[in-house]
Amino acid sequence: MTTFGTRLAHAIEERGRFCVGIDPHAALLEEWGLADDVASLERFALTVVEAVAPVVSVVKPQSAFYERFGSRGIAVLERVVTESRAAGALVLMDAKRGDIGSTSQAYADAYLDPTSPLASDALTASPYLGFGSLDPMVDACRAHGAGLFVLALTSNKEGPEVQHARDGERTVAGTILDHLRHANAGAAPVGSFGAVVGATIGETAEDLDFNGPLLVPGYGAQGGTTADMLRIFGSAARWALPSSSREVLRAGPDVTTLRDAARRGNDAVHELGA
């Protein structure tokens, strides 16, 4: 079994580090001249998959934008997962799940077990019921060669209220990063347990080099730049996955134009691995 960290390292080497969010906002559907319904959701999402999944290393569908259409929307999400992986992209399911006990296990079964129709290469998760609440997801990743990206230092203005709070000498975010460091100990070329760290957080005193990947929202249209990431992440930038959705998706609905936008995004963040 190949670990997610190993697959990610190979994908970055072969396809670059740019991550495209497949996020069918109602406003984007409208920009494409589509209605806000399931048929339009399917057309939008699968057009993006056709355009970008063959050329980028990671695609990141945001589950909520499919869930809002109920079971038919989830059926579209299943196709996004299946067709993206068939095209060679790793699928990072952006669902930010977090709960305890059997419920946490059920989330692990839904998104990380290869027998599930929603089985993805990796999942985003919230650790704010305590990092140990994620143990079923961590165990599933180890069993199935999947990955987990845990919220650590997010760009939203409400984040510091929790993430910067201190327990003695350590911040909550620092504690999360220490758990990830432990989970990735000894992994090569990189661990399978990553952190979500925003491109627009400004400065941080936290050590972001924990032998794991960084999912970096806030890049591009939201204001984050490659220079910001190089300054904030330091040596950890080599495992950064800058993520953008609107900047690419607004290039649609033409497949060639979408693909060119994804390639430009990839080229723009190439220096993070230098």
DSSP 223: S
Beta strand 19-22 with 147-153: parallel, antiparallel or unpaired? Answer: unpaired
Active-site annotation holder among 25, 96, 142, 181: 96
The answer to whether the beta carbons of residues 212 and 192 sit under 8 Å apart is yes
**Residue 157 annotated to the active site:** no
> Which letter does DSSP use for residue 236 in this model?
G
Q: 65-71: long-range contacts (C-beta < 8 A, 24 or more apart)?
A: 65/23, 65/24, 65/25, 65/41, 66/24, 66/41, 69/37, 69/38, 69/41
Distance CA 37, CA 228 (A): 38
**Measuring CA to CA, how many Å separate 64 from each of 41, 174, 179, 268?**
12, 28, 27, 28
Catalytic residues: 96
